[in-house]
Amino acid sequence: MLPKQNPIAECDAEAGTYRPRVNRNRCEAKAACIAACPCQVFEVRRIADQDFRALSILGRLKSRVHGRRTAYTPHVQACKACGLCVTACPEHAITLELASPSARSGTDE
Ligand code: SF4
Ligand code: SF4
């Protein structure tokens, strides 16, 4: 079988119908999601203080080891639910979920 050249062309989801959610207790800021996403949904940056405080004890330890960096989704409405980020993440930190109507007008998480 030929590799997919344009994966979003095979995805029927309307942009913003689904959204990726990052489990920050698992994320190690390896940025594979940035490389995989054809819609530029992700960025990796320093974790916000309130997100750091919400981590488990192990998650805080991991976060410190990885420079307190994590993945965010500033362009979440562009998501076309191709699933490439889910399979690319080496930490199994990303899940796709149906976006709520109010979340479809939001930008980041
Ligand atoms: S969500 Fe996964 S692929 Fe993205 S930065 Fe975190 S560990 Fe890396
Ligand atoms: S499923 Fe993941 S890789 Fe695909 S468009 Fe959405 S955020 Fe990007």
Q: What are the DSSP calls for 61-85, one per residue?
A: HHHHHTTTEEEE-TTGGG-----HH
> First and final CA of the chain: distance in angstroms?
36
What pTM, to 2 d.p., does this model score?
Answer: 0.84
Just give the CATH number of 22-101: 3.30.70.20
3-state secondary structure of 19: strand
Summarised one tens digit per residue, pLDDT across range 1-47 is 444 444 554 566 788 889 999 999 999 998 999 999 999 999 999 99
Q: Mean pLDDT over all residues of the chain?
A: 87
Q: How far is the CA of 6 from the centre of ligand 2 (A)?
A: 12
User: Atom of ligand 1 at shortest distance to CA of 88?
Assistant: 3
Domain boundary assignment for the chain: 22-101
Q: What is the pLDDT of residue 11?
A: 62
Task: Answer yes or no: is pLDDT of 87 > 50.
Answer: yes
φ, ψ for residue 3, nearest 5 deg: -65, 150
**Percent of the chain predicted with pLDDT > 90:** 73
User: Atom of ligand 1 at shortest distance to CA of 42?
Assistant: 4
For residue 20 and ligand 2, the question of a CB distance below 6 A is answered with yes
